[in-house]
Structure 1
Amino acid sequence: MAVPKRRTSRSNTRSRRAQWKASVPALSKCPRGHVTRPHTACPTCGRYNDRQIIDV
């Protein structure tokens, strides 16, 4: 099994870890103006694709 020959420096380790970050979730508006996640029913009015899905 391959083993690193030298220890990874502190700056290389930190610069590699700096690229690992969470992205901001995408948001869209339902037809009534509420902000929701895309491809999900609106939790405020219960509509999806201009149809009533959930009774709120």
Structure 2
Amino acid sequence: MALPKKKTSRSKRGMRRSHDAVAIPNPIYCECGELTRSHRICSACGTYKGVKRIAVQEPDAGK
């Protein structure tokens, strides 16, 4: 089994791992004012790019 000749430095290890970080999602504001993820249908109003895509039921406040 092959073994490394020299210890990998912290700098080289960090450079190799630089692309392993979890990306932070880019939130946008829908036309209704809700904070949503980009390229997704708004869960509050059901629109995508200004077009109504799904019917969203309003939550019952009394129940």
Specify if TM > 0.5: yes
1:1-40 map, 5 Å: 4-9=4-9, 12=10, 16=14, 19=18, 20-40=20-40
Q: In the comparison of the two structures, how many residue pairs are matched?
A: 52
Q: What code does the residue aligned with 1:32 have?
A: C
- For 2:42 and 2:8, how far apart are their aligned partners in 1? 48
| Percent of aligned pairs sharing the same letter | 35
Q: What code does the residue aligned with 1:45 have?
A: C
- Which runs of 5 or more residues in structure 1 are unaligned? none
1:36-47 map, 5 Å: 36-47=36-47
TM-aligned CA deviation for residue 6 of structure 1: 1.6
Q: Following superposition, which runs of at least 4 residues in structure 1 exceed 3 angstroms of deviation?
A: 17-20
- RMSD over equivalenced CA pairs, Å: 2.6
- For 2:23 and 2:49, how far apart are their aligned partners in 1? 26
Return the TM-score normalized by structure 1: 0.66
- Which runs of 5 or more residues in structure 2 are unaligned? 57-63
